[in-house]
Amino acid sequence: MTIRYNLLFLALIFQVRSGLVEVSLDPTFVSEQAMDGSERIASTWKTILQNSGANADVYVVKNGEIAIGSSDRSVIHQVTSFLKTQKAWIKHYALNEL
């Protein structure tokens, strides 16, 4: 439940209006890395998304939890398509439409 409130808080601060994708990283990866592991993944994903034309905001909510948001629904679709290619790092992800 806490993650949901954090996501809504981020949405209000950054004025994300279409949706947020909540991503839980694989626990094996998280246990092997410190917080900087989540930061590295988030930074890499933001770069990849930007290079593909998807202007999304990528936030580390806490270690092992990343939120990706945009005010553009088509970008959210691109994000979910991208996440399907990142299965090695992800435990699960869910789209939270706002």
What is the average pLDDT across 37-49? Answer: 90
Q: Please give the model's pTM, rounded to 2 decimal places.
A: 0.76
* In the predicted structure, residue 38 carries a pLDDT above the cut 80: yes
CB 65 within 8 A of CB 22: yes
* In the predicted structure, residue 82 carries a pLDDT above the cut 50: yes
14 vs 21, higher pLDDT: 21
- What is the pLDDT confidence band of residue 1, given thresholds at 50, 70 and 90? very low
Locate 5 and state its tokens.
Answer: 């409130």
Predicted confidence at residue 47, as pLDDT, reads 95
> How many domains does the chain contain in total?
1
CATH code of the domain covering residue 59: 3.30.70.260
Domain extent at residue 34: 2-97
